[in-house]
Structure 1
Amino acid sequence: MLSPKLKKRYIDHFDELIREGERIQAGRKTKDYVYDHGDPEHGLDPIIESTEEIDSAAFYSWRSRCTTLLENVTRQGSVHTARVDETSKINETPHAIMKTLGHLRAMKQDLEDGFMDDLSIRIESEVASDYLAQAEQLLSEGKSGTNEHIPAAVLTGAVLEKALRTLCDKQTPPIPTTNPDGKPKTLDPLITDLKKSGLYEEFRAKQLRTWAALRNHAAHGQFGEFTRHDVEQMVAGVTRFLADYLS
């Protein structure tokens, strides 16, 4: 999942490469080559063949940049994967440039319209919503003074952690969710890494850290560190977060 700022950068890059491809296409020149000099003494005219030439250096630079961009916005197994491979092998012909420009315009439009979003994010959102509904049920069925808010906090925290890991995986490029030693990152580093990527601002990160701390208190038996009201706010907040970033 791309942050709005990063998505705009990619769209701007698409526009830049489309303009560059159009410039290369417009700058092509027609040259005549004598294919056969003929035999004037016997009335045979020379055979002249016309070809269109383009700026080779500009073309290969453009092709390389197009390939890099498409690799960055396309995930393995996507319907667009074949276009990446095809683009990396195109020849310096007007027809190949025209075809590649068509690919760029189509993928830019898909990116703008949200059709390149990963379906797994939507599935994850639905599953997370089910678990959050269970947390809400625990709170609604419990009575004041009982401890139903504790498992609700643990459950909501697990949903939040899974959502953060999914968001890390879906960034372009993906954000590692494990440390160099192979151990999974805790919530705080995940929150910080996603903020650094530009997915959200510090205000959102502060909210997430508050919920992460509440989850840790619940999971480690520190029940005096939070209240039922805190958990209710956490469930509502995580629900909004998922609606904003996993829908």
Structure 2
Amino acid sequence: MKLDDIIKRIEQLIEMGKKVLATCKKEEDYVDWGQQKGFRSAGLSFLERTFGLDHPYVKEFDTYTDNQYMSSIEAGLGILEAAKNEISGGWLFTVKGLVSAEIFADFLDMATYLLQGNYKDPAAVVIGSVLEEHLRQLCNKNNISVEFSQDGKMLHKKADRMNADLSNANVYNKLDHKNVTAWLDLRNKAAHGRYSEYTKDQVGLMLSGVTDFMTRNSV
């Protein structure tokens, strides 16, 4: 799927949400139950596939659209609008998604391109996403579960936990574990807007380090 297709899909979801709002009668404060459920399911599916399960957009959309109140649908539309602006601005970072995939052969090449253009922050997020997906594949290769049970639900492990599990299983050494921890921390700073806490040079070192790590610990 190309970037234009993703933008088109989110625009369809926004229109869908507006139609749900239109089902609200003047004397009531809630919308049609069936259409609300359809909008919620479609929105969650899109956001999860595009941004990943742990992204704030997913969590907020899940929380705010879990009822029939008009204000909840309005909140869901606000989240989709914010996501659309992020995508349209080129800030779409997910290994399974794409950022102009028709231009970039792979994500590490994309990170190099971003760094060359002095876009250290998106570069850091891209590199971190690639690293997280590689950790997941390493877990699968070594029969290490990438999920855990909590309150009767199966949840996806976060990157830090996969890193610890891989190190404890001696898939790679303690120095690699320490480096991965530092790279994930840098990625998290970038993802949460803490841009002043790292430099372009540090992102460059992260890129070369992650590339070397993935080469030595192939899947």
Query: With structure 1 as the length reference, what TM-score do the two structures score?
Result: 0.44
Higher relative CO (Cα under 8 Å, sequence separation at least 6) belongs to 1
Provide the TM-score with structure 2 as the length reference: 0.49
